[in-house]
Amino acid sequence: MGVEVSRLSNGLTIATETLAHIESVSLGVWVKSGSRDEHDGEHGIAHLLEHMAFKGTSKRTARQIATDIENVGGEINAATSVETTAFFARVLKDDMPLAIDILSDILTESRFDADELEREKNVILQEIGAAHDTPDDIVFDRFTETAFRNQTLGRSILGTPETVRAFTAPQLRGFLERQYAAERMVVVAAGAVDHDTFVREVEKRLGGLQQHCKATPPQPAHYEGGDFRESRDLMDAQIVLGFEGRAYHVRDFYASQVLSMILGGGMSSRLFQEVREQRGLCYSVYAFHWGFSDTGIFGIHAATGKEDIAELVTVLLAELKKAGEGILPEELDRARAQYRAGLLMSQESPSSRASQIARQMLLYGRPIPTDELMDRLSKLTTDRLADLSGRLFSAHPTVAAVGPVGSLPAFDAVRDMLSGPSVMPHKLAV
């Protein structure tokens, strides 16, 4: 049957996909608003709002929200990202109306009680502290802060202890009213769901949601790049090397996704084989590409001991330059197969499928058929990927490192190695 889409009179988009032989339904509300939409003085408010949605409404206490969904064996949660916030649940098919009622309740009737707010601030302060104490988390925060310096896109989603402590209930209400409106939301369900029934249940509860809000587009992102390193007395150094990536809508987005898989998307990838298997220089290495609405970031993360940092970075840079000189047909075929398998396997999970549909609706305004995605991948060529590699990795880099980083090559040396001739260091016996 595929994905069915309806729109209510207030502009709210509703999409469903029925999955055979499944007794549960995954559903949620996705909002086109995240940490990037915060104004000055609001750093972390999008994440705090997500937390506070579960802390009591005019109909339910915080405890009742939890017990109502768990009394039927269901699950409920939420997540904040840079450009979206999601509130979602999974229940057995007969309990779908209850799940919609709870999600609608927390989105439209949250009380933002003062005592609950203070308790939740303390929870988030602990979350911030835990992230700071986890090197492989904090290095990514420093990486994005360096890549997009002094921009909301580069800020951590959690906020800072100072900003979180200062938030008030009126600020939360103001952010909610400014950012949350039907035109910026999609309601999606996947699994044991009937589209018409689902639309009726959503309309009962969210049909009166405000259509428009006063949200303004965030400032355009400007990739800057640069260098951040923090010396800590740790066993291993966490290193992220990155470059400006590609936005969701541009021609090279899918090529960038595939290139990240070829370089560091699995045990057969170039970086895993060369850096870990052949040289034993680290226990973890992978590549990633994150797309946003107007830019992206392409990066490589590695974790290694201090005695191997210099050689590791040299090998990583040499592999990036080699990618610009050529990609093998079998590498492209393998990456295509991995992408296809990952896509099809994710569609077997109602939760993953609902999230995938919601993301496509928010980004492109329509669900993207699997055949269309496969067609885009089939048109990629090795020459195009090599050309993309040459353009990506010759640009201004971003380097972030946390740990015993004294032997990490200087930023200027990293930049010079990228712009100089390709030289692969001699392999050491391992």
pLDDT tens-digit profile of 243-260? 999 999 998 999 999 999
357 and 253 within one domain: yes
The pLDDT confidence band at residue 421, using thresholds 50, 70 and 90, is low
pLDDT at 424: 52
**Are 52 and 150 within one domain?**
yes
Q: How confident is the model at residue 430 (pLDDT cuts 50, 70, 90)?
A: very low
What is the pLDDT, as a whole number, of residue 429?
34
The residues assigned a catalytic role are 50
Report helix, strand or coil for 239: strand
Assigned domain for 219 exists: no
pLDDT tens for 73-82 read 999 999 999 9
* Whole-number average pLDDT of the chain: 95
Asked if the structure places residue 56 within a domain, the reply is yes
Give the per-residue pLDDT at 422: 54
Quote the percentage of the chain above a pLDDT of 70. 97
Q: DSSP assignment of 240-287, as one string?
A: EEEEE---TTSTTHHHHHHHHHHHHSSTTSHHIIIIIIIT---SEEEE
Q: Are residues 173 and 303 in the same domain?
A: no
| Amino acid 57: pLDDT | 97
Tell me how far apart the alpha carbons of residues 238 and 138 are, in angstroms, rounded to a whole number.
9
| pLDDT in the model for residue 428 | 39
Do 133 and 279 fall into the same domain? no
| Domain encompassing residue 186 | 3-206
Is 54 part of a structural domain of the chain? yes
The reply to whether 217 falls in a domain is no
Domain membership flag for residue 27: yes
Domain assignment present for residue 182? The answer is yes
* Segment 174-179 mean pLDDT: 96
- For residues 253 and 198, state if they share a domain: no
Whether 269 and 330 share a structural domain: yes
Q: What's the average model confidence in pLDDT over 28-47?
A: 97
CATH number, residue 316? 3.30.830.10
In a domain, 212, yes or no: no
Contact 16, 22 (CB under 8 A): no
Flag whether pLDDT at 146 surpasses 80: yes
**End position of a domain, from candidates 173, 206, 239:** 206
Residue percentage of the chain with pLDDT more than 90: 95
User: What per-residue confidence (pLDDT) applies to 426?
Assistant: 46
Q: How confident is the model at residue 228 (pLDDT cuts 50, 70, 90)?
A: very high
Same domain, 79 and 189: yes
Whether 97 and 238 share a structural domain: no
For residues 275 and 110, give the distance between their C-alpha atoms in angstroms, rounded to a whole number: 51
Rounded Cα–Cα distance for residues 212 and 3 (Å): 26
Residue 430 inside a domain? The answer is no
Once rounded to an integer, what is the mean pLDDT over residues 156-183? 97
The number of distinct structural domains making up the chain is 2
For residue 419, what pLDDT band results from cuts at 50, 70 and 90?
A: confident
CB–CB of 256/296 below 8 Å?
yes
347 and 393, same domain (yes or no): yes
Per-residue pLDDT reduced to its tens digit, 347-378: 999 999 999 999 999 999 999 999 999 999 99
Tell whether 159 and 276 lie within a shared domain: no
- What is the torsional sign of CA 175, 179, 182, 185? negative
**Average of pLDDT values for 328-344?**
95
pLDDT digits (tens, 9 = 90+) for 50-78: 999 999 999 999 999 999 999 999 999 99
430 vs 362, higher pLDDT: 362
Among 187, 370, 219, which residue's Cα sits nearest to residue 292? 219
Q: Reply yes or no on whether the pLDDT at 400 is more than 90.
A: yes
Q: Which of 206, 235, 256 is the last residue of a domain?
A: 206
Quickly state the pLDDT bin for 95 (edges 50, 70, 90).
Answer: very high
**Is pLDDT at 427 greater than 90 in this prediction?**
no
Note whether 305 and 353 are same-domain residues. Answer: yes
Identify any residues that bridge with 288 across adjacent strands, giving them in sequence order.
299
> Which three-class secondary structure state does DSSP give residue 95?
helix
In this structure, the answer to whether residues 267 and 398 fall within a common structural domain is: yes
